[in-house]
Amino acid sequence: MKFLEYQVKERFRAAGVPVPDGRLARTPDEAALAAGALGPIAVKAQVPVGGRGKAGGIKLAKTAADAKRVAGEILGMTIKGYVVKEVLCETAQEITRELYLGLTLDRDARKPVLILSAQGGMEIEEVAETHPEAIAKLHPDPWRGPLAFEVRDLIFRAGLGPLQAQLTPLVVKLYALARTYDALTIEINPLALTRDGGLVAADGKLEIDENAMFRHKDLHGADDSEEDPLEAEAKRRRLTYVRLDGSIGVIGNGAGLVMNTLDLVQREGGHAANFLDIGGGAKAEVVHSALELLASDPQVKGILINIFGGITRGDEVAHGIIDATRDLHLTLPLVVRMTGTREEEGRRLLQEAGITPEATATAAARRIVELSSDPAR
Amino acid sequence: MSILLTGESRVLVQGLTGREGSFHTEQMKAYGTNVVAGVSPGKGGTTHLGIPVFDTVADARRETGADVSGIFVPAPFAADAIMEAAAAGIGLIVCITEGIPLYDMVRARAFVVDAAAKLIGPNCPGLTTAGEAKVGIIPNHISTPGSVGIVSRSGTLTYEVIQGLSQAGVGQTTSVGIGGDPILGLSFSDVLRLFKEDPATEAVVMIGEIGGSDEEAAAEQVIGRSFGKPVIGFISGRTAPPGKRMGHAGAIISGNTGTAASKLQALKRAGAQVCDTIEEVVAAAGAALGQRSSAAHR
């Protein structure tokens, strides 16, 4: 789950991480009021994607009239598919230096990693590529968290020794926030050094581990209704779905197998319309729901189902397929390849319903590419 | 011979009485696995599927001498189950559960390392030593005893390979699904080192996927350093668009590391034979064994 900047900053503020004074505005008049109260402000589009500044979603306003005008420009804009419904109006900062402070997962170390750099701002990813030495890292012990001396060491390695007294508590607070919210990523970028020598979180990012949502049922993140409507629908159905740009709908179980199925479709000359993993142990209803989703996609000209059962049982999958083809009056070409746990039962059920499963994944990919490119259909 | 698991292994199942635990324990028993105990807190003293059930792993280990645990408990409790097994002195812990929160798993992994236990998974199909025993969910009928070792990050794709090999008459020693999560127990490198030392394993099939850099690390640190046995490599996700998360928390590409191209290149450079399809993997494994046996006869 992702959060909008203002939602992240509410949490920063509550945790004692300094943020600029700000107000949320949903209309140009509200932005004008904010400027009246705060003085010169930055008007910032609230969308759950990066690159807002470059897209024209962040503008400065010196007066209330300015604020009304720029908010009028930004509200209603579309940035990477997201319509701007709210702007954050924040006291403009006199920034002398932009730092970076964040936490993410280091897969190779099998631990979260705290990252600090004296070269923050929009180009941080480029800095990481071209000047890795400008990025200091700390892997805190997962049981005790970062200790003060480890944090000081991180700060000195980042070349930020003179800011050590201010930075140390900030790093500790960020780590605590990450733990509190089960953050996959939490980031202050830029962490701004202002003219008066203070540090302030000029922007913030937070993404929560979906696997930990059972601990955070009270949290509401960014409204993702502006996402691809099929991806949003898939999320509602709790299906792991990614939209792609081809015409062959693909359903399978297990990320590796589904990715391999996409690769096979491409090898046979087709292009997948999506990645859809029904996961382990899927019941008939899940298969039904997955088929219903793909059948609603006008881009889909044929559907390939590739199941190799471990926890997933062939009979369950077969019931789902049979029920869905009946309920949805499915006329699209449908090719099934099924093997593994309760394979015989599943294949028998399918055959009784007039669906003949293919013997191998490659044969199934070839068949669906043939069927869905048939001009007679 | 084999790695990690044999017919002698004394297996306990955490979450035995649950739906998935029951179903797959029956399958494990049917395969010949020596399942000696189950653990379900509050159900100690009962029996389930003819297996004695204990309240704690420590009790189960003390009473039955269990040395391997298979974990089928729901995600919110799975990290705790892993640590309970490690604390009780279980040497090999196999966690099938999918969806364990990241921070839970980071802690559990550190705990397991401190206890000097081996962890396979989580979010994995487990392992099968062909013809002897299995812990996990790899379908029973697909494995055949032989001399190819398999290590894979995928679940279902592993089954494809095992079945393909068996149908081609190429048997396996042990097939290990290490799991698709970003925080794992044994890595490709760890399992490859075990295969290197196993006299019965004559060739190894390694099934990787996009994301992370474990395949690259294994290529550079193990396969490329006088591994001494043929390695056949395969990477899924070649056509996945960059930056898109493909189901596994693991299968995400960031920057230049973790792409299929980077992994394939690292494997080739290390001397592994890289294949484009599972059918090619099967053929290559068969050919590698043929060459080895004809070389041995000369």
Nearest-Cα residue of chain A relative to residue B181: A107
CA distance to partner chain A, nearest, from residue B210 (Å): 9
Q: How far apart are CA B27 and CA B33, in angstroms?
A: 9
| CB < 8 Å to B110, chain A | 111, 141-143
**Has residue A229 got a pLDDT over 60?**
yes
| CB < 8 Å to B73, chain A | none
What was the pLDDT predicted at B255? 47
What was the pLDDT predicted at B155? 84
Domain end, chosen from A155, A187, A215, is at A215
Q: Is residue A128 part of a domain?
A: yes
Q: Is residue B4 part of a domain?
A: no
Q: Is residue B5 part of a domain?
A: no
Q: Which of A173, A194, A182, A5 is nearest to A82 (CA)?
A: A5
Q: Is residue A7 part of a domain?
A: no
Residue B175's SS3 state is strand
| Helix or strand (DSSP H, E) at A10 | helix A5-14
What was the pLDDT predicted at A32? 96
On whether both B163 and B278 belong to a single domain, the answer is yes
- Which tens digit of pLDDT belongs to each residue from A169-215? 999 999 999 999 999 999 999 999 999 999 999 999 999 998 999 99
What was the pLDDT predicted at A105? 86
On whether both A142 and A73 belong to a single domain, the answer is no
CA-angle at A267, arms to A264 and A269, nearest 5°: 115
CA distance to partner chain B, nearest, from residue A263 (Å): 6
Q: Is residue A35 part of a domain?
A: yes
| CB < 8 Å to A179, chain B | 103
On whether both A69 and A105 belong to a single domain, the answer is no
Q: Is residue B131 part of a domain?
A: no
Domain count, chain A: 3
On whether both A83 and A126 belong to a single domain, the answer is no
Q: Closest partner residue to B239 among A110, A263, A307, by Cβ?
A: A263
Q: Is residue A223 part of a domain?
A: no
Rg of chain A, C-alpha, whole Å: 26
On whether both A118 and A204 belong to a single domain, the answer is yes
On whether both A104 and A181 belong to a single domain, the answer is yes
Query: Dihedrals φ, ψ of B87, to 5°?
Result: -65, -30
**Has residue A220 got a pLDDT over 50?**
yes
Cβ(B128)–Cβ(B2) under 8 Å? no
Q: Which residue has the higher pLDDT, A137 or B242?
A: A137
Q: Average pLDDT, whole number, for chain A?
A: 90
pLDDT-based confidence at residue A107 (cuts at 50, 70, 90): confident
- Which tens digit of pLDDT belongs to each residue from B145-181? 999 999 999 888 999 999 999 999 999 999 999 998 8
Q: Is residue B26 part of a domain?
A: yes
Inter-chain residue contact B155 with A277, CB threshold 8 Å = no
Q: Is residue B170 part of a domain?
A: yes
Query: Dihedrals φ, ψ of B126, to 5°?
Result: 85, -155
CATH of the domain at A71: 3.30.1490.20
Inter-chain residue contact A212 with B255, CB threshold 8 Å = no
On whether both B224 and B291 belong to a single domain, the answer is yes
Per the structure, the complete domain to which residue A173 belongs is given by 95-215
Per the structure, the complete domain to which residue B32 belongs is given by 11-120
pLDDT-based confidence at residue A230 (cuts at 50, 70, 90): confident
| CB < 8 Å to A142, chain B | 103, 106-107, 109-110
Q: Is residue A192 part of a domain?
A: yes
Give the tokens for residue A268. 């046979």
**Has residue A377 got a pLDDT over 60?**
no
Contacts of A126 by beta carbon, 8 Å cutoff, 6+ apart: none
Give the tokens for residue B173. 């020693």
Inter-chain residue contact B98 with A280, CB threshold 8 Å = yes
On whether both B113 and B151 belong to a single domain, the answer is no
On whether both B153 and B193 belong to a single domain, the answer is yes
On whether both A71 and A177 belong to a single domain, the answer is no
What was the pLDDT predicted at B298? 44
On whether both B152 and B95 belong to a single domain, the answer is no
Give the best residue of A1, A110, A115 to mutate against chain B (max B CB count within 10 A): A110
Q: How far apart are CA A134 and CA A132, in angstroms?
A: 5
Q: Closest partner residue to A242 among B154, B163, B244, by Cβ?
A: B244
**Has residue A48 got a pLDDT over 90?**
no
On whether both B185 and B293 belong to a single domain, the answer is yes
| CB < 8 Å to A279, chain B | 98, 247
Domain count, chain B: 2
Backbone dihedral region for residue A84 (phi beyond 0: left; psi -120 to 50: alpha; all else: beta): beta
b/e burial code for range A158-187 (CB count within 10 A of at least 16 → b): bebeebeeebbebbbebbebbbebbbbbbb
**Has residue A113 got a pLDDT over 90?**
yes
CA distance to partner chain A, nearest, from residue B66 (Å): 24
Give the best residue of B72, B103, B281 to mutate against chain A (max A CB count within 10 A): B103
Query: Dihedrals φ, ψ of B102, to 5°?
Result: -55, -50
CATH of the domain at B148: 3.40.50.261
CATH of the domain at A151: 3.30.470.20
CATH of the domain at A319: 3.40.50.261
CA distance to partner chain B, nearest, from residue A107 (Å): 6
Q: Is residue A224 part of a domain?
A: no
On whether both B273 and B152 belong to a single domain, the answer is yes
On whether both B100 and B161 belong to a single domain, the answer is no
On whether both A168 and A108 belong to a single domain, the answer is yes
Read off the pLDDT of each residue in A262-288 and give the average, rounded to a whole number.
Answer: 90
Q: Is residue A255 part of a domain?
A: yes
A and B: number of Cβ contacts within 8 A:
168
On whether both A175 and A277 belong to a single domain, the answer is no
Q: Is residue A270 part of a domain?
A: yes
Q: Closest partner residue to A212 among B101, B109, B137, by Cβ?
A: B101
On whether both B151 and B60 belong to a single domain, the answer is no
Give the best residue of A106, A125, A257 to mutate against chain B (max B CB count within 10 A): A257
On whether both A125 and A235 belong to a single domain, the answer is no
Cβ(B183)–Cβ(B238) under 8 Å? no
Q: Which residue has the higher pLDDT, A149 or A125?
A: A149
Q: Closest partner residue to B248 among A255, A341, A360, by Cβ?
A: A255
CATH of the domain at B76: 3.40.50.720
Let me know how long chain A is. 377
Inter-chain residue contact A339 with B163, CB threshold 8 Å = yes
On whether both A179 and A259 belong to a single domain, the answer is no
Residues of A that are catalytic: 100, 187
On whether both A236 and A352 belong to a single domain, the answer is yes
CA distance to partner chain B, nearest, from residue A132 (Å): 14
Q: Which of A156, A160, A4 is nearest to A82 (CA)?
A: A4
| CB < 8 Å to A214, chain B | 76
3-class DSSP string for A311-369: CCCHHHHHHHHHHHHHHCCCCCCEEEEEEECCHHHHHHHHHHCCCCCECCHHHHHHHHH
Q: Closest partner residue to B246 among A125, A179, A259, by Cβ?
A: A259
Domain end, chosen from A185, A215, A245, is at A215
On whether both B33 and B79 belong to a single domain, the answer is yes
On whether both B75 and B143 belong to a single domain, the answer is no
Nearest-Cα residue of chain A relative to residue B143: A340
- Which tens digit of pLDDT belongs to each residue from A303-356? 999 998 777 888 999 999 999 999 988 889 999 999 877 888 999 999 999 888
Inter-chain residue contact B107 with A244, CB threshold 8 Å = no
Q: Closest partner residue to A275 among B137, B139, B246, by Cβ?
A: B246
On whether both A125 and A211 belong to a single domain, the answer is yes
Q: Low-confidence residues of chain B, pLDDT below 70?
A: 242-257, 291-298
What was the pLDDT predicted at B248? 47
A306 beta partners? A252, A337
pTM for this one? 0.89
What was the pLDDT predicted at A108? 83
Inter-chain residue contact A254 with B277, CB threshold 8 Å = no
Distance of CA A318 to the CA centre of its chain: 32
Query: Dihedrals φ, ψ of B146, to 5°?
Result: 180, -145
On whether both B281 and B215 belong to a single domain, the answer is yes
CA distance to partner chain A, nearest, from residue B23 (Å): 9
**Has residue A84 got a pLDDT over 80?**
yes
Q: From the candidates B24, B48, B141, B248, which is the catalytic residue?
A: B248
Domain end, chosen from A91, A110, A143, is at A91
